[in-house]
């Protein structure tokens, strides 16, 4: 993805020190993919990279994709489109947003980058992958390169295979947060034979394993399904205070939809002796920090504590 060239992406693995890790003799590092770009962060950069190259190769000048009100993928596509001089269209779940989207930090930032926003009902949104729905979009907007919801397809998985490098072979366990599973699939495909890959789903759903298997051949991997906090984008006070404590204790900001839940789950498993002493863990910080502002507005409206940025 130009001008964010792959060479420009120098990602560090940051060592975390916490009393818990010392007590359990477990080493934890965080791969700071969140630092790739403030808006095209972490895995969304990886997932768009080869899709953008493909769209250009096929001579498309417009990208169309789908997402919800806080979507990191919508934000990333809007910014990446602008940087690559391509038009972008975001099909957004929820008609009610049509009147209030200017108050939504993610959607107004996407619009500022030139993204056209089309709001559709939840019923229509469920039909978004049907030919009838896509044909209607083509009549309205002209031809476009379609990136699926969450950005996951074969080319996205290929991009996520570049997250791990040869230097990362020293780790025993690789962890990441899971939405559609595209990122996890890339990690599974590129992990070394001695490594185990653990995914932490941010939503309830038994479909995930099957979806992931579409993109992976084999590999040692599993899902840790106890840490979705009630479902996608569900946030409670304990998660908010965990995120704020982690930020204070380690300097690392986490988002409430994905990486916060993964780290909560991972530290809970460490507390419960899931890992042997001496285990070296690498957790992928997949980014997503742009979504915090929107979630904080929601938390404020519910008079709940907010995430310190
Ligand atoms: C989108 C996203 C994920 C989920 O990635 P999938 O490839 O859909 O599983 C994880 N973390 C962050 C920060 C994200 O924005």
Domain boundaries, the chain: 13-38+154-301, 42-151
- Architecture in CATH of 13-38+154-301: 3-Layer(aba) Sandwich (3.40)
Strands, E assignment, the chain = 13-15, 27-31, 62-67, 87-93, 116-120, 145-146, 173-178, 196-201, 221-223, 280-284
Over 60: is that where the pLDDT of 157 sits? yes
pLDDT per residue as tens digits for the range 70-104: 999 999 999 999 999 999 999 999 999 999 999 99
13-38+154-301 matches 42-151 in fold: yes
Distance 285 CA to ligand 1 centre (A): 10
pTM of the model: 0.96
Tokens 């498993």 correspond to 269
38 pLDDT band (50/70/90 cuts)?
confident
What is the Cα–Cα distance from 285 to 207, expressed in whole angstroms?
A: 24
- Residue range 19-31, pLDDT digits in tens: 999 999 999 999 9
Asked whether 43 and 286 are in contact (CB, 8 A), the reply is: yes
Assess whether pLDDT exceeds 60 at residue 5: no
- Is 255 a pocket residue for ligand 1 (Cβ < 6 Å)? yes
Distance CA 106, CA 72 (A): 8
Dump pLDDT digits (tens) for 100-140. 999 999 999 999 999 999 999 999 999 998 999 999 999 99
CATH placement of domain 42-151? 3.40.50.1100
Cβ of residue 183 lying under 6 Å from some atom of ligand 1: yes
Stretch among 199-208, 248-257, 261-270 having the lowest mean pLDDT: 199-208
Residue 9 pLDDT greater than 80, yes or no: no
| Residue from 33, 150, 201 to probe ligand 1 pocket by mutation (most atoms less than 8 Å from CB) | 150
In this prediction, residue 309 carries a pLDDT of 84
CA of 286 to the centre of ligand 1 (A): 6
Helix %, strand %, coil % of the chain (to 5): 45, 15, 40
What average pLDDT does range 199-220 have in this prediction?
93
Contacts of 301 (CB under 8 A, 6+ apart): none
Q: By the 8 A CB rule, do 128 and 116 touch?
A: no
Contact 162, 46 (CB under 8 A): yes
Residue 289 CA to residue 259 CA, distance in Å, equals: 9
Q: What is the mean pLDDT of residues 37-57?
A: 94
Nearest residue (CA) to ligand 1, atom 14: 288
For residue 187, the SS3 value is: helix
Ligand 1 binding pocket includes 290 (Cβ within 6 Å)? no
pLDDT value of position 190: 98
In the chain, pLDDT over 70 holds for what percent of residues? 97
What is the CA(139)–ligand 1 centre distance, in A? 31
Q: Are strands 13-15 and 27-31 parallel, antiparallel or unpaired?
A: antiparallel
Do the beta carbons of residue 202 and residue 234 sit within 8 Å?
no
Assess whether pLDDT exceeds 60 at residue 2: no
Q: Which two tokens stand for residue 236?
A: 């409670």
């Amino acid at each position: 993805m130009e001008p964010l060239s792959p060479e420009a992406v120098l990602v560090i693995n940051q060592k975390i020190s916490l009393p818990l890790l010392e007590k359990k003799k477990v080493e934890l590092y965080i791969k700071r993919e969140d630092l790739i770009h403030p808006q095209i962060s972490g895995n969304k950069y990886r997932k768009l990279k080869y899709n953008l190259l493909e769209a250009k190769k096929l001579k498309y000048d417009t990208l169309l994709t789908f997402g919800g009100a806080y979507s990191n993928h919508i934000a990333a596509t809007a910014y990446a489109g602008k940087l690559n001089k391509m038009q972008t269209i975001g099909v957004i779940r929820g008609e009610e947003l049509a009147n209030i989207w200017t108050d939504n930090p993610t959607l107004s930032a996407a619009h500022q980058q030139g993204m056209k926003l089309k709001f559709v009902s939840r019923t229509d949104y469920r039909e978004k992958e049907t030919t009838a729905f896509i044909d209607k979009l083509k009549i309205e907007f002209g031809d476009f390169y379609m990136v699926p919801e969450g950005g996951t397809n074969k080319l996205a998985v290929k991009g996520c295979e570049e997250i791990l490098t040869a230097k990362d072979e020293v780790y025993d366990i690789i962890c990441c947060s899971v939405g559609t599973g595209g990122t996890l699939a890339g990690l599974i495909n590129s992990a070394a034979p001695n490594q185990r890959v653990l995914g932490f789903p941010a939503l309830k759903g038994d479909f995930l394993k099957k979806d992931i298997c579409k993109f992976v051949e084999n590999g040692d991997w599993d899902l840790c399904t106890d840490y979705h906090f009630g479902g996608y984008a569900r946030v409670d006070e304990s998660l908010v205070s965990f995120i704020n404590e982690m930020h204070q204790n380690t300097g690392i900001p986490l988002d409430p939809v994905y990486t916060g839940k993964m780290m909560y789950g991972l530290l809970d498993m460490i507390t419960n002796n899931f890992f042997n002493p001496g285990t070296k863990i690498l957790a992928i910080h997949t980014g997503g920090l742009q979504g915090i502002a929107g979630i904080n507005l929601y938390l404020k409206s519910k008079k709940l504590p907010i995430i310190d940025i």
